[in-house]
Chains A and B, each alone.
Chain A
Amino acid sequence: MTHQEFELYLDAYLDGELASEDARAVEAHAKDCRDCARLQGTRIALSTTLREQVPRFRAPDALRTRVQTALRAAAGAPVSARRVPPIVWRVLALAASLAVVAVGSWRMATNGAAGQALAEQVLTSHVRSLMPGHLTDVASSDQHTVKPWFNGRLDFSPPVYDFATRGFPLVGGRLDYLGGRSVAALVYGRRQHMVNVFLWPSTAGAMGERVATRQGYHLLHWATAEYVYWVASDLGLAELHEFAGLLRQADSAAASSNR
Protein backbone atom coordinates (compact mmCIF):
# COMPACT_ATOMS: atom_id res chain seq x y z
CA MET A 1 0.00 0.00 0.00
CA THR A 2 1.34 3.45 -0.92
CA HIS A 3 0.99 6.60 1.18
CA GLN A 4 -1.61 7.95 -1.24
CA GLU A 5 -3.67 4.78 -1.01
CA PHE A 6 -3.39 4.87 2.74
CA GLU A 7 -4.71 8.40 2.91
CA LEU A 8 -7.49 7.55 0.50
CA TYR A 9 -8.65 4.64 2.65
CA LEU A 10 -7.91 6.10 6.06
CA ASP A 11 -11.16 8.02 6.52
CA ALA A 12 -13.35 5.14 5.44
CA TYR A 13 -11.32 2.91 7.74
CA LEU A 14 -11.81 5.20 10.74
CA ASP A 15 -15.52 5.55 9.89
CA GLY A 16 -15.88 1.77 9.95
CA GLU A 17 -16.92 1.74 6.31
CA LEU A 18 -14.05 -0.25 4.83
CA ALA A 19 -14.32 -3.90 3.79
CA SER A 20 -12.35 -6.13 6.17
CA GLU A 21 -9.65 -7.01 3.62
CA ASP A 22 -8.88 -3.33 2.92
CA ALA A 23 -9.08 -2.58 6.62
CA ARG A 24 -6.38 -5.14 7.32
CA ALA A 25 -4.16 -3.58 4.63
CA VAL A 26 -4.58 -0.15 6.25
CA GLU A 27 -3.70 -1.53 9.66
CA ALA A 28 -0.64 -3.34 8.30
CA HIS A 29 0.61 -0.19 6.59
CA ALA A 30 0.12 1.98 9.68
CA LYS A 31 2.16 -0.50 11.69
CA ASP A 32 5.13 -0.18 9.33
CA CYS A 33 5.00 3.51 8.38
CA ARG A 34 5.55 6.12 11.03
CA ASP A 35 4.33 9.06 8.93
CA CYS A 36 1.08 7.32 8.09
CA ALA A 37 0.59 6.30 11.70
CA ARG A 38 0.97 9.96 12.65
CA LEU A 39 -1.56 10.97 10.02
CA GLN A 40 -3.97 8.43 11.47
CA GLY A 41 -3.43 9.94 14.91
CA THR A 42 -4.23 13.47 13.71
CA ARG A 43 -7.38 12.31 11.93
CA ILE A 44 -8.65 10.63 15.07
CA ALA A 45 -7.88 13.78 17.03
CA LEU A 46 -9.73 15.89 14.44
CA SER A 47 -12.88 13.76 14.66
CA THR A 48 -12.80 13.85 18.42
CA THR A 49 -12.33 17.61 18.48
CA LEU A 50 -15.12 18.14 15.95
CA ARG A 51 -17.59 16.06 17.92
CA GLU A 52 -16.62 17.69 21.18
CA GLN A 53 -16.40 21.28 20.07
CA VAL A 54 -18.66 21.85 17.11
CA PRO A 55 -22.19 21.77 18.48
CA ARG A 56 -25.13 19.77 17.32
CA PHE A 57 -27.91 22.32 17.69
CA ARG A 58 -31.15 21.89 19.56
CA ALA A 59 -34.10 23.34 17.66
CA PRO A 60 -35.53 26.41 19.48
CA ASP A 61 -38.94 25.83 21.10
CA ALA A 62 -40.43 28.59 18.97
CA LEU A 63 -39.40 26.70 15.84
CA ARG A 64 -40.93 23.49 17.17
CA THR A 65 -44.25 25.27 17.75
CA ARG A 66 -44.08 27.00 14.38
CA VAL A 67 -43.46 23.75 12.51
CA GLN A 68 -46.22 21.90 14.33
CA THR A 69 -48.76 24.66 13.73
CA ALA A 70 -47.81 24.92 10.06
CA LEU A 71 -48.14 21.15 9.62
CA ARG A 72 -51.58 21.11 11.19
CA ALA A 73 -52.74 24.01 9.10
CA ALA A 74 -51.37 22.35 5.96
CA ALA A 75 -52.91 18.98 6.75
CA GLY A 76 -56.31 20.42 7.63
CA ALA A 77 -56.49 22.89 4.75
CA PRO A 78 -57.49 22.35 1.14
CA VAL A 79 -54.80 20.88 -1.12
CA SER A 80 -53.01 23.76 -2.79
CA ALA A 81 -52.85 25.96 0.28
CA ARG A 82 -49.47 24.73 1.57
CA ARG A 83 -46.67 27.14 1.02
CA VAL A 84 -48.58 30.31 0.33
CA PRO A 85 -48.21 33.69 1.97
CA PRO A 86 -50.70 34.59 4.72
CA ILE A 87 -52.49 37.11 2.54
CA VAL A 88 -53.36 34.37 0.06
CA TRP A 89 -54.65 32.30 2.94
CA ARG A 90 -56.97 35.08 3.91
CA VAL A 91 -58.23 35.45 0.38
CA LEU A 92 -58.75 31.71 0.13
CA ALA A 93 -60.63 31.61 3.39
CA LEU A 94 -62.77 34.53 2.32
CA ALA A 95 -63.38 32.95 -1.09
CA ALA A 96 -64.38 29.74 0.66
CA SER A 97 -66.87 31.55 2.84
CA LEU A 98 -68.27 33.55 -0.08
CA ALA A 99 -68.68 30.33 -2.03
CA VAL A 100 -70.68 29.06 0.90
CA VAL A 101 -73.12 31.90 0.54
CA ALA A 102 -73.29 31.56 -3.23
CA VAL A 103 -74.02 27.85 -3.11
CA GLY A 104 -76.34 28.40 -0.19
CA SER A 105 -75.55 25.02 1.27
CA TRP A 106 -75.40 26.03 4.92
CA ARG A 107 -77.76 23.75 6.74
CA MET A 108 -77.81 26.15 9.62
CA ALA A 109 -81.11 27.72 10.49
CA THR A 110 -79.64 30.98 11.67
CA ASN A 111 -81.55 34.16 12.11
CA GLY A 112 -81.57 35.27 8.53
CA ALA A 113 -78.82 37.11 6.70
CA ALA A 114 -77.15 38.40 9.88
CA GLY A 115 -76.72 34.85 11.15
CA GLN A 116 -75.32 33.72 7.80
CA ALA A 117 -72.80 36.54 7.81
CA LEU A 118 -71.76 35.66 11.35
CA ALA A 119 -71.31 31.99 10.41
CA GLU A 120 -68.99 33.07 7.60
CA GLN A 121 -66.98 35.22 9.97
CA VAL A 122 -66.66 32.35 12.43
CA LEU A 123 -65.41 30.02 9.70
CA THR A 124 -62.95 32.62 8.41
CA SER A 125 -61.66 33.32 11.93
CA HIS A 126 -61.23 29.63 12.57
CA VAL A 127 -59.27 29.07 9.36
CA ARG A 128 -57.16 32.15 9.95
CA SER A 129 -56.36 31.05 13.50
CA LEU A 130 -54.79 27.88 12.10
CA MET A 131 -52.21 29.86 10.18
CA PRO A 132 -48.76 29.87 11.80
CA GLY A 133 -48.60 32.26 14.71
CA HIS A 134 -52.29 33.14 14.76
CA LEU A 135 -53.71 30.53 17.11
CA THR A 136 -53.27 32.11 20.52
CA ASP A 137 -52.39 35.43 22.12
CA VAL A 138 -51.95 33.67 25.44
CA ALA A 139 -50.74 30.09 25.18
CA SER A 140 -51.40 28.16 28.36
CA SER A 141 -53.11 24.99 29.45
CA ASP A 142 -53.88 26.66 32.78
CA GLN A 143 -57.37 28.14 32.95
CA HIS A 144 -56.20 30.41 35.79
CA THR A 145 -53.69 31.97 33.41
CA VAL A 146 -55.97 32.28 30.41
CA LYS A 147 -59.04 33.72 32.15
CA PRO A 148 -57.27 36.67 33.85
CA TRP A 149 -55.46 37.44 30.58
CA PHE A 150 -58.76 38.76 29.22
CA ASN A 151 -59.05 41.29 32.08
CA GLY A 152 -58.96 44.78 30.64
CA ARG A 153 -59.08 43.40 27.10
CA LEU A 154 -62.80 42.61 27.07
CA ASP A 155 -65.85 44.05 28.83
CA PHE A 156 -66.64 40.60 30.20
CA SER A 157 -64.70 37.79 31.84
CA PRO A 158 -65.23 34.64 29.80
CA PRO A 159 -65.61 31.29 31.54
CA VAL A 160 -62.50 29.18 30.85
CA TYR A 161 -62.36 25.48 31.58
CA ASP A 162 -59.76 22.81 31.16
CA PHE A 163 -61.08 19.51 29.85
CA ALA A 164 -57.67 17.82 29.73
CA THR A 165 -58.93 14.86 31.73
CA ARG A 166 -61.77 14.47 29.23
CA GLY A 167 -59.43 14.58 26.24
CA PHE A 168 -59.83 18.26 25.32
CA PRO A 169 -56.87 20.10 26.87
CA LEU A 170 -56.92 23.89 26.92
CA VAL A 171 -54.38 25.33 24.46
CA GLY A 172 -54.84 29.05 25.09
CA GLY A 173 -56.89 32.11 24.25
CA ARG A 174 -56.89 35.15 22.02
CA LEU A 175 -58.94 38.20 21.18
CA ASP A 176 -61.04 38.04 18.06
CA TYR A 177 -63.54 40.28 16.33
CA LEU A 178 -66.95 38.95 15.26
CA GLY A 179 -70.28 40.55 14.45
CA GLY A 180 -68.95 44.04 15.10
CA ARG A 181 -67.57 43.40 18.58
CA SER A 182 -64.52 42.05 20.40
CA VAL A 183 -65.04 38.50 21.52
CA ALA A 184 -63.13 35.87 23.45
CA ALA A 185 -61.68 32.99 21.47
CA LEU A 186 -60.63 29.96 23.50
CA VAL A 187 -58.66 27.20 21.90
CA TYR A 188 -58.93 23.57 22.92
CA GLY A 189 -57.04 20.64 21.43
CA ARG A 190 -58.08 17.12 20.57
CA ARG A 191 -55.17 15.04 19.32
CA GLN A 192 -53.88 17.16 16.41
CA HIS A 193 -57.21 18.93 15.92
CA MET A 194 -57.95 22.41 17.15
CA VAL A 195 -61.29 23.58 18.47
CA ASN A 196 -62.07 27.30 18.52
CA VAL A 197 -64.70 28.49 20.98
CA PHE A 198 -65.95 32.03 20.31
CA LEU A 199 -68.12 33.63 22.97
CA TRP A 200 -69.56 36.95 24.07
CA PRO A 201 -72.40 38.09 26.35
CA SER A 202 -75.85 37.07 25.22
CA THR A 203 -78.47 39.76 24.59
CA ALA A 204 -81.28 37.60 23.23
CA GLY A 205 -81.43 34.88 25.88
CA ALA A 206 -80.91 31.15 25.58
CA MET A 207 -81.10 29.33 22.27
CA GLY A 208 -80.79 25.63 21.43
CA GLU A 209 -77.92 24.15 19.47
CA ARG A 210 -77.64 24.62 15.67
CA VAL A 211 -75.22 22.73 13.45
CA ALA A 212 -73.54 23.53 10.16
CA THR A 213 -71.04 21.55 8.12
CA ARG A 214 -68.96 22.88 5.30
CA GLN A 215 -65.76 21.66 3.61
CA GLY A 216 -64.69 19.52 6.50
CA TYR A 217 -65.39 22.13 9.17
CA HIS A 218 -68.23 21.84 11.65
CA LEU A 219 -69.81 24.82 13.35
CA LEU A 220 -71.95 24.54 16.46
CA HIS A 221 -73.90 27.49 17.74
CA TRP A 222 -75.97 27.95 20.87
CA ALA A 223 -76.65 30.50 23.57
CA THR A 224 -77.12 30.31 27.30
CA ALA A 225 -78.77 33.03 29.33
CA GLU A 226 -75.32 34.58 29.70
CA TYR A 227 -73.26 33.84 26.59
CA VAL A 228 -73.51 33.32 22.86
CA TYR A 229 -71.33 30.40 21.76
CA TRP A 230 -69.86 29.49 18.39
CA VAL A 231 -67.63 26.41 18.20
CA ALA A 232 -65.60 25.61 15.08
CA SER A 233 -63.38 22.63 14.29
CA ASP A 234 -62.45 19.96 11.77
CA LEU A 235 -63.19 17.34 14.41
CA GLY A 236 -65.88 14.76 13.68
CA LEU A 237 -69.38 15.87 14.63
CA ALA A 238 -69.72 13.20 17.32
CA GLU A 239 -66.60 14.40 19.11
CA LEU A 240 -67.55 18.03 18.67
CA HIS A 241 -70.95 17.33 20.23
CA GLU A 242 -69.17 15.60 23.09
CA PHE A 243 -67.07 18.73 23.55
CA ALA A 244 -70.11 21.04 23.40
CA GLY A 245 -71.76 18.82 26.01
CA LEU A 246 -68.77 19.30 28.32
CA LEU A 247 -68.92 23.07 27.86
CA ARG A 248 -72.65 23.26 28.62
CA GLN A 249 -72.25 20.98 31.64
CA ALA A 250 -69.46 23.14 33.02
CA ASP A 251 -71.50 26.31 32.34
CA SER A 252 -74.58 25.07 34.13
CA ALA A 253 -72.46 23.82 37.04
CA ALA A 254 -70.90 27.28 37.27
CA ALA A 255 -74.30 28.98 37.00
CA SER A 256 -75.86 26.90 39.80
CA SER A 257 -72.89 27.49 42.10
CA ASN A 258 -73.30 31.23 41.54
CA ARG A 259 -76.91 31.13 42.59
Chain B
Amino acid sequence: MEPNELERFERMVLPHLDSAYTVARYLTRDDDDAQDVVQDAYLRALKYFSGFRGDDAGSARAWLLAIVRNTAYTWRHRQRDAALATEFDEEHHSAAVAGEHPAAALDRTAARESLHQALDRLPSEFREVIVLRELEGLSYKEISDVAAVPVGTVMSRLSRARRRLQEALCAGEEER
Protein backbone atom coordinates (compact mmCIF):
# COMPACT_ATOMS: atom_id res chain seq x y z
CA MET B 1 0.00 0.00 0.00
CA GLU B 2 1.18 3.53 -0.81
CA PRO B 3 2.20 5.48 2.31
CA ASN B 4 -0.16 8.38 1.49
CA GLU B 5 -3.02 5.90 1.05
CA LEU B 6 -2.53 4.80 4.68
CA GLU B 7 -2.38 8.45 5.69
CA ARG B 8 -5.67 9.10 3.90
CA PHE B 9 -7.20 6.06 5.59
CA GLU B 10 -6.02 7.21 9.02
CA ARG B 11 -7.37 10.69 8.40
CA MET B 12 -10.79 9.58 7.15
CA VAL B 13 -11.55 6.35 8.99
CA LEU B 14 -9.60 6.37 12.26
CA PRO B 15 -11.59 9.30 13.75
CA HIS B 16 -14.67 7.03 13.81
CA LEU B 17 -13.10 4.60 16.27
CA ASP B 18 -15.54 5.53 19.07
CA SER B 19 -18.52 4.90 16.77
CA ALA B 20 -17.04 1.58 15.66
CA TYR B 21 -16.44 0.53 19.27
CA THR B 22 -19.92 1.59 20.39
CA VAL B 23 -21.63 -0.39 17.64
CA ALA B 24 -19.39 -3.42 18.20
CA ARG B 25 -19.98 -3.21 21.91
CA TYR B 26 -23.76 -3.30 21.61
CA LEU B 27 -23.74 -6.00 18.96
CA THR B 28 -21.37 -8.34 20.80
CA ARG B 29 -22.42 -7.29 24.33
CA ASP B 30 -18.88 -8.02 25.47
CA ASP B 31 -15.89 -5.68 25.81
CA ASP B 32 -13.18 -8.13 24.70
CA ASP B 33 -15.19 -9.35 21.74
CA ALA B 34 -15.96 -5.76 20.76
CA GLN B 35 -12.27 -4.83 20.76
CA ASP B 36 -11.35 -7.83 18.62
CA VAL B 37 -14.21 -7.07 16.22
CA VAL B 38 -13.10 -3.44 15.89
CA GLN B 39 -9.49 -4.37 15.14
CA ASP B 40 -10.59 -6.97 12.63
CA ALA B 41 -13.02 -4.53 11.01
CA TYR B 42 -10.33 -1.86 10.65
CA LEU B 43 -7.99 -4.30 8.94
CA ARG B 44 -10.78 -5.31 6.56
CA ALA B 45 -11.62 -1.66 5.95
CA LEU B 46 -7.99 -0.94 5.08
CA LYS B 47 -8.04 -3.81 2.63
CA TYR B 48 -11.18 -2.54 0.88
CA PHE B 49 -10.34 1.16 1.19
CA SER B 50 -9.35 1.51 -2.46
CA GLY B 51 -12.97 0.64 -3.36
CA PHE B 52 -14.42 3.32 -1.05
CA ARG B 53 -15.66 6.24 -3.13
CA GLY B 54 -17.00 8.65 -0.51
CA ASP B 55 -15.17 11.83 0.41
CA ASP B 56 -16.92 13.15 3.52
CA ALA B 57 -16.84 12.13 7.18
CA GLY B 58 -20.46 10.93 7.21
CA SER B 59 -20.09 8.47 4.38
CA ALA B 60 -16.77 7.20 5.75
CA ARG B 61 -18.47 6.50 9.07
CA ALA B 62 -21.43 4.67 7.51
CA TRP B 63 -19.03 2.68 5.33
CA LEU B 64 -16.90 1.71 8.35
CA LEU B 65 -19.95 0.82 10.49
CA ALA B 66 -21.23 -1.51 7.76
CA ILE B 67 -17.91 -3.38 7.97
CA VAL B 68 -18.02 -3.40 11.78
CA ARG B 69 -21.54 -4.83 11.66
CA ASN B 70 -20.60 -7.58 9.21
CA THR B 71 -17.50 -8.43 11.22
CA ALA B 72 -19.54 -8.65 14.42
CA TYR B 73 -22.03 -11.04 12.80
CA THR B 74 -19.29 -13.21 11.33
CA TRP B 75 -17.68 -13.21 14.75
CA ARG B 76 -20.88 -14.25 16.46
CA HIS B 77 -21.44 -17.10 14.04
CA ARG B 78 -17.94 -18.34 14.67
CA GLN B 79 -18.50 -18.16 18.42
CA ARG B 80 -21.80 -19.94 18.05
CA ASP B 81 -20.20 -22.71 16.07
CA ALA B 82 -17.51 -23.05 18.67
CA ALA B 83 -19.80 -23.03 21.68
CA LEU B 84 -22.50 -25.39 22.78
CA ALA B 85 -25.94 -24.14 21.89
CA THR B 86 -26.93 -23.89 25.53
CA GLU B 87 -24.05 -21.59 26.29
CA PHE B 88 -25.44 -19.14 23.82
CA ASP B 89 -28.98 -19.08 25.05
CA GLU B 90 -29.98 -15.55 24.15
CA GLU B 91 -31.72 -14.79 27.42
CA HIS B 92 -28.95 -16.17 29.57
CA HIS B 93 -26.20 -14.44 27.62
CA SER B 94 -27.86 -11.03 27.62
CA ALA B 95 -28.71 -11.13 31.29
CA ALA B 96 -25.13 -12.00 32.21
CA VAL B 97 -23.68 -9.19 30.14
CA ALA B 98 -26.26 -6.63 31.15
CA GLY B 99 -25.33 -7.31 34.77
CA GLU B 100 -21.71 -6.38 34.08
CA HIS B 101 -22.45 -3.20 32.19
CA PRO B 102 -20.14 -0.43 33.44
CA ALA B 103 -22.89 2.14 33.12
CA ALA B 104 -25.08 -0.06 35.23
CA ALA B 105 -22.33 -0.24 37.84
CA LEU B 106 -21.93 3.53 37.83
CA ASP B 107 -25.55 4.33 38.30
CA ARG B 108 -27.85 1.72 39.66
CA THR B 109 -31.07 3.50 39.02
CA ALA B 110 -33.75 1.03 38.10
CA ALA B 111 -34.70 2.95 34.98
CA ARG B 112 -31.21 2.74 33.55
CA GLU B 113 -30.74 -0.90 34.37
CA SER B 114 -34.00 -1.94 32.85
CA LEU B 115 -33.41 0.14 29.73
CA HIS B 116 -30.04 -1.52 29.29
CA GLN B 117 -31.41 -4.94 29.85
CA ALA B 118 -34.25 -4.24 27.50
CA LEU B 119 -31.82 -3.05 24.81
CA ASP B 120 -29.47 -5.99 25.32
CA ARG B 121 -32.37 -8.40 25.10
CA LEU B 122 -33.66 -7.05 21.83
CA PRO B 123 -32.92 -9.26 18.83
CA SER B 124 -29.84 -7.89 17.09
CA GLU B 125 -31.71 -6.56 14.04
CA PHE B 126 -33.71 -4.31 16.37
CA ARG B 127 -30.79 -3.51 18.66
CA GLU B 128 -28.62 -2.34 15.80
CA VAL B 129 -31.16 0.13 14.41
CA ILE B 130 -31.66 1.65 17.87
CA VAL B 131 -27.90 2.07 18.39
CA LEU B 132 -27.33 3.46 14.91
CA ARG B 133 -30.22 5.89 15.18
CA GLU B 134 -30.34 6.94 18.83
CA LEU B 135 -26.67 6.77 19.81
CA GLU B 136 -24.93 7.38 16.50
CA GLY B 137 -27.55 9.66 14.96
CA LEU B 138 -27.47 8.06 11.51
CA SER B 139 -30.17 8.90 8.95
CA TYR B 140 -32.54 6.20 7.71
CA LYS B 141 -30.65 6.14 4.41
CA GLU B 142 -27.33 5.60 6.20
CA ILE B 143 -28.82 2.89 8.42
CA SER B 144 -30.19 1.18 5.33
CA ASP B 145 -26.67 1.20 3.85
CA VAL B 146 -25.10 -0.12 7.05
CA ALA B 147 -27.67 -2.85 7.70
CA ALA B 148 -28.15 -3.65 3.99
CA VAL B 149 -31.95 -3.41 4.11
CA PRO B 150 -34.39 -1.01 2.36
CA VAL B 151 -35.28 2.30 4.03
CA GLY B 152 -38.83 1.04 4.58
CA THR B 153 -37.47 -1.88 6.60
CA VAL B 154 -35.35 0.51 8.67
CA MET B 155 -38.49 2.48 9.43
CA SER B 156 -40.56 -0.50 10.50
CA ARG B 157 -37.72 -2.07 12.51
CA LEU B 158 -37.13 1.17 14.40
CA SER B 159 -40.82 1.46 15.13
CA ARG B 160 -41.07 -2.14 16.38
CA ALA B 161 -37.82 -1.85 18.36
CA ARG B 162 -39.06 1.25 20.15
CA ARG B 163 -42.38 -0.36 20.90
CA ARG B 164 -40.61 -3.34 22.44
CA LEU B 165 -38.40 -1.10 24.56
CA GLN B 166 -41.42 0.82 25.68
CA GLU B 167 -43.26 -2.36 26.61
CA ALA B 168 -40.24 -3.68 28.49
CA LEU B 169 -39.97 -0.44 30.42
CA CYS B 170 -43.65 -0.45 31.32
CA ALA B 171 -43.46 -4.08 32.42
CA GLY B 172 -40.43 -3.23 34.57
CA GLU B 173 -42.33 -0.42 36.24
CA GLU B 174 -45.34 -2.60 36.96
CA GLU B 175 -43.15 -5.16 38.71
CA ARG B 176 -42.01 -2.61 41.24
A and B are interacting partners: yes
Give the docked Cα–Cα distance between A43 and B169 (Å): 12
Contact with B along A29-43 (1 / 0, CB 8 A): 000000000000011
Q: Is the CB of A12 within 8 A of B20?
A: no
Given the known inter-chain contacts A59-B17, A59-B18, A59-B20, please indicate yes or no for A83 contacting B43, CB distance below 8 A: yes
> Which bracket fits the contact residues of B?
35 or more
Min distance, Cβ B86 to any Cβ of chain A, angstroms: 29
Min distance, Cβ B59 to any Cβ of chain A, angstroms: 18
Q: B residues within 8 A CB of A11?
A: 155, 158-159, 162
Number of A-B contacts (CB under 8 A): 118
Contact with B along A54-73 (1 / 0, CB 8 A): 11111110011011101110
Q: Is the CB of B140 within 8 A of A74?
A: no
Q: Is the CB of A57 within 8 A of B18?
A: yes
> Which bracket fits the contact residues of A?
35 or more
Given the known inter-chain contacts A43-B162, A68-B14, please indicate yes or no for A75 contacting B21, CB distance below 8 A: no
Q: A residues within 8 A CB of B43?
A: 70-71, 74, 82-83
Min distance, Cβ A97 to any Cβ of chain B, angstroms: 22
Given the known inter-chain contacts A11-B158, A46-B165, please indicate yes or no for A60 contacting B35, CB distance below 8 A: yes
Interface of B (DSSP majority class): helix
B33: Cβ under 8 A from any A Cβ: no
Min distance, Cβ B127 to any Cβ of chain A, angstroms: 11
Nearest A residue (CB) for B31: A60
Q: Contacting A56 at CB < 8 Å: which of B1, B5, B22, B158?
A: B22
Q: Is the CB of B115 within 8 A of A192?
A: no
Residues 181-239 (chain A) with a chain B CB within 8 angstroms: 191-193
Give the docked Cα–Cα distance between A53 and B104 (Å): 10
Contact with A along B1-26 (1 / 0, CB 8 A): 10101110110001001101110010
Chain B contact residues, CB within 8 Å of chain A: 1, 3, 5-7, 9-10, 14, 17-18, 20-22, 25, 35, 38-40, 42-44, 46-47, 103, 111-112, 115-116, 119, 130, 133-136, 139-140, 155-156, 158-159, 162-163, 165-166, 169
